[in-house]
Structure 1
Amino acid sequence: MSTVQLTPSVDVRRAADRFSTQVGWLDSHHSFSFGHHYDHRNTHHGLLMVNNDDVVMAGTGFDTHPHRDMEIVTWVMEGSLVHQDSTGHNGVIYPGLAQRMSAGRGILHSEKNDSWRLGGETHQDPVHFVQMWVVPDSSGVQPGYEQLEIDHELLSGGLVTVASGMPQHADATAIRIQNRYAALHVARLQPGGSVELPDAPYLHLFVPRGAVTLEGAGALEKGDAVRFTATGGQRVTATEPAEVLVWEMHAGIAA
């Protein structure tokens, strides 16, 4: 972890400027270098290394593949996603359900669109989700999995702590991650609703749904992101029904 002297900045990143991976079953947009997309100037912000905005078609998904030494948080916007891993954990992730997988010393998992039936009719809806990776405090830990329903808490319209390793969030956090310097907050906003961003050395704001305005920076549309360094306290206000994902980080990755 790194806590070097920082210069305040607010860096707006537009949706259209993201890396993109598009195959028949997947429409994926990457905020940072990912897979064969690489830019040495865009590998992470703070402790956040991956912010993938994915749409997966029905009956398809990511086959079993490995991860290690990464805290992986998945947030579903629409549809549902089936998770299975080599430690025996499995579950269905849907909107309002917080989910975290600690890859630790090594884990295999798969993620598939959960097609479902209702009244004898098969629904073939895509699943839209954001997957975010942060580095853990230490490598080689025991792999783990956690999920918890927090849909009721989101009705407040405020920032809800979804995942955190920060001691001050111990009583308010839905799920724990193994990094004491990082926390993910989510807000579901109706038009006119607003939240104030925390103050931290590093913040990452992402708009996966709807549209908002950011104090001092203007309009943000679906897929836009903002990287804050050594600043915070700005207000985010919805101009249409929206959700925002906010990573609060009190350290960065050492160079």
Structure 2
Amino acid sequence: MSSEIRRGTDRLVQREPGRLTQHSFAFGAAYDPDNLRFGPMVCHDDHLLATGTGFDTHRHSGLVIVTYVVSGALSHTGPDGTARVEAGSVAVLRTGDGVEHSELAAAPQTRFVQVWLTDDEPPETPSYAVVPGAEVDAVAAVDALPGARLTVLRLADGATGTIPAAPLTHVYVARGALLRSSMAEPLHEGDAFRFTGEPAHEVTAGVDSVLLVWSFGHPA
């Protein structure tokens, strides 16, 4: 069993015109052999975009790409056309054996957190689906791969929530802050827990907060 805290202030920052990106894992020339992945998660990026900026058409294969829009709105264009992903929504792109797509900000101050998961058995045909914010609030969990689940945990100021036990758990503070606990000093927006073989943990919000909780290795 182990727990690790990754502070947002330690993330790799990349700046481009109209875009600020913070990388959780080794990226490009910033190679770190001790920080290449966490289970099937090989990318965990936090992007802030100005309207109309983002990522023009590019190609992916062998991945499941999961995007949570924190603020603003994201315009996604792929083989099936264009979809608008509003704040609070989750989008899941299964790239299959190859797909081209683009992602551009459709509103000012668009911020989204995106995770790439390696898919050992990708479907032949790519797919794209959006879970609207209202359904995320109601259903809470999105299954991305067998044994890989994202739970959007929303906590009001002072409320306590449970991080479920799993072989691997990644907890990201997308909004707000967590109070000091037996595990750590306070966690702030952009900070993360990485748990390996840990039991369930309770966390308490210091302000209204949104946690993105990835569980890996739970029964499918």
> Taking structure 1 as the reference length, what is the TM-score of the superposition?
0.80
**How far apart are 1:216 and its partner, in Å?**
2.3
Q: How many angstroms does 1:60 deviate by?
A: 1.3
Number of corresponding residues:
217
Q: Which residue of 1 aligns with 2:152?
A: 186
Superposed, 1:19-98 pairs within 5 Å as 19-85=12-78, 87-98=79-90
CA RMSD of aligned residues (A): 1.7
> Amino acid of the residue matched to residue 74 of structure 2?
L
In structure 2, what is the equivalent of residue 134 of structure 1?
117
Question: Of 103, 106, 110, which residue of structure 2 is paired with 1:111?
Answer: 103
> Secondary structure of the residue that 1:16 maps to in structure 2?
helix
CA contact (8 A) 1:9 1:230 kept: yes
The CA distance in 2 between the partners of 1:141 and 1:34, in whole Å, is 28
Which blocks of at least 5 consecutive residues in structure 2 are unaligned?
A: none
Determine whether 1:203 maps to 2:169. yes
- Residue aligning to 2:212: 245
Secondary structure of 1:232's match?
Answer: coil
Secondary structure at the aligned position of 1:83 is classed as: strand
Conserved? CA contact 1:215–1:234, under 8 Å: no
1:144 alignment counterpart:
127
CA offsets per residue over residues 147-179 of structure 1, 9 Å max, x none? 12142652x7xx921x21xxxxxxxxxxxx3x2
Distance in 1 (CA, whole Å) between partners of 2:149 and 2:215 is 5
Moved over 4 A (4+): none
Separation (CA, whole Å) in 2 of partners of 1:225 and 1:216: 12
Q: Which residue of 2 aligns with 1:167?
A: none
Write the distance in 2 (CA, Å) between the matches of 1:40 and 1:10: 19
Matching residue's letter, 2:212: L
| Identity level (%) | 33
| Structure with bigger gyration radius | 1
User: Residues 143 and 152 (structure 1 numbering): CA distance in 2 closer, same or farther, change over 3 Å?
Assistant: closer
Opposite residue 108 of structure 1, the aligned amino acid is E
Give the C-alpha shift of residue 19 in structure 1.
1.0
